[in-house]
Chain A
Amino acid sequence: MTTSEHLNVTAEINGVNVTESVETRATLAQFLREQLGLTGTKLSCEMQVCGVCSVLVDGEPVSACTYLAADVDGRRVETVEGLANPGGLHPLQQSFVDNFALQCGFCTPGFLMMATALLRRNPDPSEEDVKEYLDGNICRCTGYEPIVHAVLDAARTMRGAT
């Protein structure tokens, strides 16, 4: 029950089981980026406001900048690296490309993960639903319209509609 500076964390990360000794005080973002080399998850505000660090833990979105790595022990983590498959981009990723929903791309992993969480709980969101769910994510480049359209388009594709 008690541990001091380090503890063993066993988690399923993008479908792969990983056991690592992590520093108790390590954030999930540090663990993913520095220990596992999964640098798709970004860091910026470190205040749970910008969303570039968004990842899913047991399907729920969290701010990896302000979440302990220790807390994913025994849980399932999804990051942007897990979205695409060998066959190609995930429909959300393809839709971001098609809709020009990124410029520098720094915010994109966070938007993709939040959109993933949204479409799982609501496969047919309204424009309002998308705006509401993504309002904890900031993009400094493109403006938000293409991002919202990309998510709505991807939702249509994923529902199998034309």
Chain B
Amino acid sequence: MPLPAFTLHRPRSAADAIALLDEDCLAYSGGTELLMAMRMGLIRPTALVDLKRIDELNTITLGADRLLIGAGASHDRVAGDALVAEHAALLATAERLVGNARVRAQGSIGGNICFAEPRSDVATVLVALDATVLLQSASSRRSVPATEFFLGPYWTAREPGELLTAISIPLPAPAGVYLKFQTVERPTVAVAAVALPEGGYRIVVGAVGDLPVSADYAQLTAVDAADLAARVEPVSDLTGSERYKRHVTEVFVRRAVAALAGGR
């Protein structure tokens, strides 16, 4: 199936890209989501803006108290980056497990969260790490916590004129374990279990429902896997019924907690 026609823009700076963006003119990096949605007729932009030629979107830098990951960085790039490995190892772990080798080379971390496909490894981990996303339009810059960025399936707080420039992870980032159950291209259930730097623990259950479900606990023994499994809202599909997915959720929460308690 051929793609519908569109105009292509290839700016070299974020500012030039932002000046172009609106409801009909969409940014893309890997195109792993956008081109497929266009081919299926689900999204019909009149113009596209290639972000791959904008160097400033592809940097990973360490600030005084945060790690900044450019929106255009590929999954592979993030997974293999030394700063990410040192300061946000959980993200590197999850990025290594995304999709297949082509999706990891082609797809960007920014495209993953802007598309907001619910079965996302990235979203699950960003919620666990208290990440914020940096959005920039012609007239404003704002920083939105991951928990407020994801509004529903394929729906985020980003306005059409806004470019996601970077993902910001406050340091020290929580450390912990990331477990997922996956039988097809995308995860069925993803669980991040982390020890929070200020004390206590956080469990994030992602991919299984419309939005990641996050809960903090003073002690690991207080984690109630059955309660978390009751709180997610799985969608029945080819990878399992709602009941099955709740069961898998409970099992994976228990495994993640056990792994975290065991110091892995």
User: A interface vs B, CB < 8 Å?
Assistant: 1-5, 7, 23-27, 30, 46-49, 51, 54, 60-63, 66-68, 70-71, 114, 117-118, 133-137
Contacts and interface: CB of A to CB of B under 8 A. Distances in A.
Contacts of B52: 71
Contact of A1 (B1, B9, B100, B105): B9
Tell me whether chain A's interface is mostly helix, strand or loop, or mixed.
mixed
Contacts, number: 89
Interface stretch (B29-37, B54-62, B244-252): B29-37
B172 interface: no
A48 B103 contact: yes
Given A3-B8, A135-B100, A67 B31 contact: yes
A5 B100 contact: no
A26 B39 CA distance: 12
Contacts of B31: 66-68, 71
B101 A117 contact: yes
Nearest to B35: A66
B8 A62 contact: no
B6 interface: yes
B102 interface: yes
B7 A62 contact: no
Contact of A2 (B7, B39, B185): B7
Contacts of A24: 5-8
Contacts of A49: 100, 185
Interface in B1-19: 1-11, 16
A25 B5 contact: yes
B210 to A, nearest CB: 23
A51 B106 CA distance: 13
Interface string B39-72: 1000000000010100000000000000000000
